[in-house]
Every structure is written in C-alpha cells, then in structure tokens.
Structure 1
Amino acid sequence: MTANVVVIGSLNMDLVTRAPRLPRGGETLIGHSFATVSGGKGANQAVAAARLGARVSMVGCVGSDDYGVQLRDALKAEQIDCQAVSAVEGSSGVALIVVDDDSQNAIVIVAGANGALTPAVVERFDAVLQGADVVICQLEIPDATVGHALKRARALGKTVILNPAPASRPLPADWFAAIDYLIPNESEAAALSGVTVDSLQTAENAATQLIAMGAGKVIVTLGAQGSLFANGTGFEHFPAPAVKAVDTTAAGDTFVGGFAAALASGKSEAEAIRYGQIAAALSVTRAGAQPSIPTMSEVQAFKLA
C-alpha cells in the first residue's frame, strides 16, 4: 500500500565543512572540505519518507534566491509534491554545519524564508492535509505554525508525529494532546521533560514525564544505543544496528521519515521503529544530509543481510 505523508516544516541549504574537530571560541581551524547540500529537518524527513516508500507532500517556504530554486528542485527529483512549497521574498533558510573527524557535528541555523511559514499559509493548503495519513512537524518553523498544524491534523483524524528539534525549552502544554508520537533525541527529551537523559533508565524517566504531560506515545532516539519506545503502560528498547559512522547529519530525520513511511503503510509500531533504525544506520555511513538517506530497497537488502 502506498502511504500519504505530509511534512510541514523547514527547507534549508546546508553549508557543510569537515574539520579535524569542532572549533573552540575564538579559534580558526583549517577544514578538510566544503559542500552545499539540500537540507532542513522538514525537507530531510520528506525525502526520507519518499525514498522509504511513502507518497509525500511538503508544506514550507523557500526564498527568492538560487537556493530556493535548488531546494524545490531537490524535492521534485524525489517525486515529492511541492504545490504547498511557497516562494517568498528574501533568502532561503541556511544551516552552517561543521563535521569533525569523529563524525560529530555542530550546526547554526538561520531561518530565512522558514520564518514566513505562518498558520495562514498552512490553512491555504488545508486540502493537502486532508489527503494525509500521517502528518509530521518539527521546530524549525514558527511555534504558532507548529501548534496550528498539530491541532488541525488532530482535528482531521490524522496520525500526528512531532520531532521536537531543535528543542531548548518545554513545549506549549496545549500541544501534547494533539501528538500521537513524540520523537525527541536525548538532549531534546531532557529539554522537554526536565530530566537529564544519560542512560536507558533516565530515558524511561523522561519518556514517562512526557506522557504524563499528555503525549500519546514517545520514542526517544539514543544514537548508537538505539531507541526507547514508551506508551504509558510500558517500555521497549530497540538496539541500533551496528555500523561504522561517517557523518551523523540527518540520522534523526531519516529515522522519523522511515518510521512515518512504515507506519502509514500499515506496519506495526515495532516494525516501523526497526525500519526507521535501519534507515538511520545506513544514513550515518555516508556524508551529507539528503544524499545520505537510503532507499527502501537498500533497507530491505540490509534486513536480509
């Protein structure tokens, strides 16, 4: 069955440099390489869902610059419906990314056109939401827009996923009731719950707190330690596939897109989590954001290996 996934979120041009390590304050390092790569958490998740088996529509904004054209073209090349990707005056969103020799990254985001994705823009494309099975949001667009999108998707009876990234503070309390699956990483789970996450036990504590706040179910992604699923009655830990990491950029986005595509196609929660984990594991073996995201056939081949 072909799924319908709608992603409401950001499109950024990633300006990526590789360096021996992440620079300290006031320090200048000599880098290894530089590349411009289509990214943005929203667009990354849309590409992941499309490559991993879903029929995808994107709702977002790009600028009137060359980056805006490139970002839309990158989505269209993946057969993603871009009727709801609007061009606005000014610059597109950008992300400045440094990746070190241990494959860890540091990122600075400039919202640009993503700041123009208002609730009114989402309302203009309500028919796109109505055609969805699953709706995904993140936090690289205005909070008012995220809140509106979550609540509208809930009112339409859709499966609602929020990847609360980047998160540095608790979510508005009235968002939680609209969220079926809240998918934070360790630092995001800590920021949202107030519980430091540095072990599987503390991840369970954070997830318990987030469900008490009103989230339907919580999946805490734990990098090389896999992920933790919580549904209010218990927990399940899913170990991560063992791979050699080259670049962790977009690993979380790949997980979210893969999970959504699998869930929308009728797979069980456990199957969807494993599917997203394999896709994310494959993505970290390659450099870049969207270029690193695997296809459905690659994930299936990995499972058979």
Structure 2
Amino acid sequence: MKFFVIGDVTVDHLYHLDHLPAPGEELAPTRATMKPGGAGGTISVTLARLGHTVTLAARVGDDPFAEYALQSVRESGVSQGAIQQDPEHLTSTITVMQTKGGQRAMISDGAANRQLDPAKLKKKDIEGSDALIVSAYSLTEGPQRDYTLKAIETARGAKKPVPVFIDLGTGAVNKVGTDLIGNVSGADYLTLNQHELLALTNTASISAALAQLGAAGARRVVVKVGKMGSIVWTPTETELVDAIKPEGKVVDSTGAGDTFTAAFAHAVLTGQPLAQAARTANAAGALAATRVGAQARPITLADLEAALAR
C-alpha cells in the first residue's frame, strides 16, 4: 500500500521525573534522552516498518537538528521527496517531562514544520496514494495548514477518492479548540484520545462528544482510552475494544498514539474490520511504549501477530 503522510518531524528531549517541577523548582531527571519524534515522522516510520510505501510531507530547518530529526525516517526507507528545508526557521523540537505515575507536560515549537509550503504540494502524490494520513497539528496555523487543506481537498476530489485519516493531538485541540471540528469531522477515519475528544467538543462525556461529532458529519471515530483500549464508533454502532498487554514493561508513552494511528490505517487498508483494526492498533501502541522514544521500538507484522495471539 502507498501512504502519503502530513505531519511534524521533531527532535524530542525526554525527561523522566519523580514529579513535575513547580514554578522555580530545579529537578534532576531519573533519565534524560534525545530521540527523533513528531507525529508525522512516527506515523510514517511505523507504516514503512510494516512494509508499506510511504511519502512524508514535513519541513526542517537548515541546522544540525534536521539530520537527527529525520534519522529514523531515512533508515526505515520513507520517501523524502516531499520533505522541505527552511532557510530561516529551526527544526522543530519538543521537550517532554513525564512521571512514573503517567503525568506529562510538554513544551513544543512548531518552527519549520508550520512553514510547509503549499505551492510545493504535488497533487499526483496524493492521487496516487491508497490513503492520506494527517496529523491535526498540521491544521493549526501557517502555510502548513494551507498545505494540509489543499491535500485533503485533492484526496476527496481525486478520480478515485483517497481515504483520509486524521489523528488529533492535545496541542492541536488546545490551540484551535472546537473550531477544529469543521476540519476533521469530514475525515473517513478520525482517531483521538479521550481528553482530546472532550476538549474538541467541549462536552463532559464520551457519549455526548461522539453524538456531537456524528451531528457534524463524522463517519468513523476511534477513541483511545488508555489501559481500557479503544472505542470504535460509527453512526450505527459503538464498541469497546480491549487493550492488548505488551510483552515487556511500559516505560514511555511518547509516540504511542501516533503508532496506534499508523497501525490502525495499516489494518484498515489491509482489509481488517473496524473493531479488529482497532485491536491491532491497541497492540501497536502498547508495543511502542516499551521503549524510550517515539520511534525507538521497531514494530513488524510478526510483532503484531504475536501480540494479538496473546
């Protein structure tokens, strides 16, 4: 299968702490690492490792971090034909602070990614793909938003329409709020976590939030609900899909949601029914959390088969 992915590539600075710092407090981390990350990078790398042909649209700076941000992208064989270099803005970075109890705080800079030039989008790349996958961070602001909207319009208007997967992100929802509904509800498949769902719809319950998305035109929604697994919703049915317990200790959830989305798209396009595709995605997300770093745990078809068999 051929996928076209639009999303950020970043350098992630990961700090594991006993607790999140209070204002003015200085802490020593129990572990500190630097890894390639970003939703676009992680989704594309995961798909490539699962055997697909992937093109990633992202933008990096003309700086030392660019090479590192794209390290896993290059190693996994993702096409860089739609990667742009920005002469003025730096490669995006994210600082992630995470505790053993699951608390997390992040500092992110969209930087070069937000400058993705829509004039460089090649419609044939979208029309020749089997699916378009979009990280909602790409819909927040700047030229990258224009690029992404143009790509979605191209996918929908293609002679053979290209299915569109959109994955939400907490930062994207916090920045745009309920106004984001108009851009994402028309996706063929929408994936997001529970917090993002409630914030996106400004509701207090999952059922009310899903009803609102349905009224806005959503067709297929998958809600990631952590240790409970995921919820698959369509206008005619709702199903809770149990979590898959990974072989190995969960050490870092960075990128697990992006890995989930990639595996879900893989499963859908290889013919799995919606609930089974969500189960496959549950397994992939759980496996990703057993290594430090969004792209550190290579996930193969054999890995998924073994996890699902358990």
Per the normalisation by structure 2, the TM-score is 0.89
Unaligned runs of 5+ in 2: none
Listed as ranges, the gaps of 5+ residues in structure 1 are 197-201
1:60 & 1:190 partners in 2: Cα distance? Answer: 28
CA displacement, residues 141-183 of structure 1 (integer Å, 9 cap, x when unaligned):
3333333322222222111011121312014454246411111
Give the corresponding residue for 1:54: 52
Contact 2:123/2:151 (CA < 8 Å) preserved in 1? no
Matched, 1:258 2:263: yes
Is contact 1:13-1:93 (8 Å) kept? yes
CA separation of 1:23 and 1:30: change in aligned 2, threshold 3 A: same
**Residue 245 (structure 2) aligned to one of 242, 245, 257:** 242
SS of the residue 2:178 aligns to: coil
CA distance in 2 between counterparts of 1:107 and 1:292 reads 21
The answer to whether the 8 Å contact 1:6/1:59 transfers is yes
Partner residue in 2 for 1:199: none
How many positions carry a matched residue from both structures? 296
CA distance in 2 between counterparts of 1:173 and 1:298 reads 35
2:216 pairs with 1:213: yes
Work out whether 1:138 is the aligned partner of 2:135: yes
Write out aligned runs for 1:265-276 (5 A). Answer: 265-276=270-281
For 1:67 and 1:6, the matched residues in 2 are separated by: 24
> Is 1:24 the equivalent of 2:19?
no
Matching residue's letter, 2:118: P
SS at match of 1:28: coil
Distance change (3 Å), C-alpha of 1:161 and 1:176? same
> CA-to-partner distance for each residue in 1:11-51, whole Å, 9 max, x for gaps?
11101122112212222111122221000111111112222
Greater relative contact order, per chain length (Cα 8 Å cut-off, separation 6+)? 1
Query: Which residue does 1:87 correspond to in 2?
Result: 85
Separation in 1 of the partners of 2:200 and 2:70?
32
Contact 1:5 1:264 in 2 (8 A): no
Q: Is the 8 A contact 1:9 1:138 kept in 2?
A: yes
TM-score (norm 1): 0.91
Q: Deviations over 1:233-274 (max 9, x none)?
A: 120110111344211111100100001112122222222111
CA contact (8 A) 1:5 1:54 kept: yes
Letter paired with 1:154: R
| Alignment partner, residue 72 of structure 1 | 70
Determine which of 162, 173, 182 is the counterpart of 2:166.
162
Partner of 1:147: 149
- Tell me, in whole angstroms, the C-alpha distance in 2 between the residues paired with 1:174 and 1:31: 40
2: CA distance between counterparts of 1:286 and 1:172? 32
